[in-house]
Amino acid sequence: MEMNAKQHKYGMVIDLDKCTGCGACMVACMSENNVPFKKDESNKRDSITWMRVYKISNGKPYPDADVCYLPRPCMHCEGHDGHSPCVSVCPATATDYSRETGVVSQIYTRCFGCRYCMAACPYHARYFNWWDPVWPDGMEKTLSPNVSPRMRGVVEKCSFCFHRYQLAREKAIYEGRDEVAEDEYQTACAQACPAGAIVFGDLNNPDHQVTRIVEPDPHHHFTGHSKKAFRLLEQLGTNPKVYYTTERQWVRKILGQYNFGSQAAAHGA
């Protein structure tokens, strides 16, 4: 495969057997990225959560019931050579795929809110600001200057905390080196996870932990070589960069062939 030494492909592997469903990743992401919050967030269709933890169950009756939690950030799909579903449809060039990092960017000032990308994304990873975000008096001080707060009418989504990469590169340049080390660029969710279930790194770098776990196979559309790590909706050809591992067969089955309206009920967050 053409591997330009400096071409990164940032990705993630999530261990569904370690994920406890605590939601720390969700809160860390929202805190890091100036995600707004409303008084009533129980309608999950308009609740903006870049990282969302879904709950799936095996559909069996008591006492054989089992549940599994599934954290789902943006998949940063590569498609074929950078043609993510959302990037391909955006009429405003508000979203873009970078070959240098593998990250799908979302630029709020270009977006005019047609939501075509939301229709295109099969993972429901994109969220729309139906209303202007409102921060209670004083809480606007918690906003980080590294991420742009959004206005109503634009779509937002997980960015793999790209602002952290930008800051890490600045530090690297200041210290006279070009490369960003594995522990210098970690997403907020991977950093916060108390169970260590989320592992983030450069899938192009064989030394990074994520690559060691996933072993992406370039000859087979970057599926996990050992078949231990799988991706969601593989059959759609989105070539996503978030892999999952689990030893539970019922979870693999549901996620490998995800059917709407099947026995397994999926609840948002």
Partner 1 sequence: MKLDRRSFLSFVIGGAAGTAVTPLPWKLMDDVSIWSQMWPWTPVPPDGAYTYARSTCTLCPGGCGIAVRKVDQRVVKIEGLAGHPVNDGGICPLGLGGPQMLYSPTRVTGPLKRVGPRGEGKWAKISWNEALAEVADKLTQLRDDGHPEQLAIFSGAGQGTFSALLERFMTVYGSPNLVRPATFEDAYGMAVYRMHGQQAVVGFDLENANFVISFGSGVIEGWGSPVRMIRAKSLWKDRKVPLVQVEPRLSNTAAKADRWLPIRPGTEAALALGLAHVILAEGLYDRNFVEYYSNGFEAWRKMVLDGFAPDKVAEITGVSRDYIIVLARDFAKAGAGVAICGRGRGTTPGSLEEAMAVHALNALVGAINRKGGVWALPGNEGIRWPEVEIDETAANGLQRPRLDGAGSGDLVDAGSLPNRFFSAQAEGKADPVKALLVFEANPLFTQPGTETVKKALDRLDLLVSFSSLMDETAAYADLILPNHLYLERYDDVVAGTGLAAKVIGLTQPVVAPRCNTRHAGDVVLALAGAVGGPVADAFAWESFQACLEETLADDWDALSEAGYVVRKIQPAYWFEAFSTASGKFEFAGGYRPVPIEGDKGAFPLVLIPYDGMRIAAGPVANTPFMTKTVGDDVLKRQDVLVEVNPKTAGALGLGEGQAARLSTPRGQARVRIHLSEGIMPGLVAMPRGLGHTAYDDYLAGKGVNVNTLIGPVEDPASGLDAAWGIQAKLAKA
Partner 2 sequence: MSTKDDPGHAVSDDAADKKGGATILLFFILGVAASLVIGWGVFPRLLYSTKPQPFNFNHALHNEEVGDCESCHFFREDGTFSGVPTLAQCTDCHEDVMGESEDETIFVEQYVWKEREVPWHVYSRQPDCVFFSHAAHVIKAKMACETCHGDIGTSTRLKPYQENRITGYSRDIWGYSIAGFKTHTYDRMKMDDCAECHEQAVGSVDQAPLTGVVGRHFRQEVVPAIYPPDRQAAAGSSVQTQRDACFVCHK
Name residue 97's amino acid.
Answer: Y
Q: Which of residues 235-264 bind partner 1 (CB under 8 A)?
A: none
- Shortest Cβ distance from residue 151 to partner 2 (Å)? 11
Place of tokens 């429901």: 124
Fill in the per-residue mask, 86 to 125: x = in contact with partner 2 (CB under 8 A), - = not in contact.
-x--x--x-xxxxxxx-x-x-xxx----------------
Nearer to partner 1 among residue 89 and residue 195 (C-beta): 195
Quote the longest CA-to-CA distance of the chain. 60
* DSSP H or E stretch at residue 86: helix 85-89
- For residues 48 and 158, the answer to whether their CB atoms sit within 8 Å is no
27: three-class secondary structure by DSSP: helix
Stretch that binds partner 1, among 3-11, 34-42, 72-80, 219-227 (CB under 8 A): 34-42
Q: 243 — phi, psi (to 5°)?
A: -105, 160
Type and span of the H or E element at 209? helix 209-214
Contact 152, 129 (CB under 8 A): yes
- Nearest to 154, CA basis, from 129, 172, 171: 129
30 binds, among partner 1, partner 2, none (CB under 5 to 8 A by kind): partner 1
Residue 22, contacted partner among partner 1, partner 2, none, CB below 5-8 A by kind? partner 1
To partner 2, the closest distance from the beta carbon of 49 in angstroms equals: 20
Nearer to partner 2, 22 or 151 (CB): 151
Q: What residues line the site for partner 2 (CB under 8 A)? A: 2, 4, 6-8, 81-83, 87, 90, 93, 95-101, 103, 105, 107-109, 146-149, 159, 162-163, 166-167, 169-175, 178
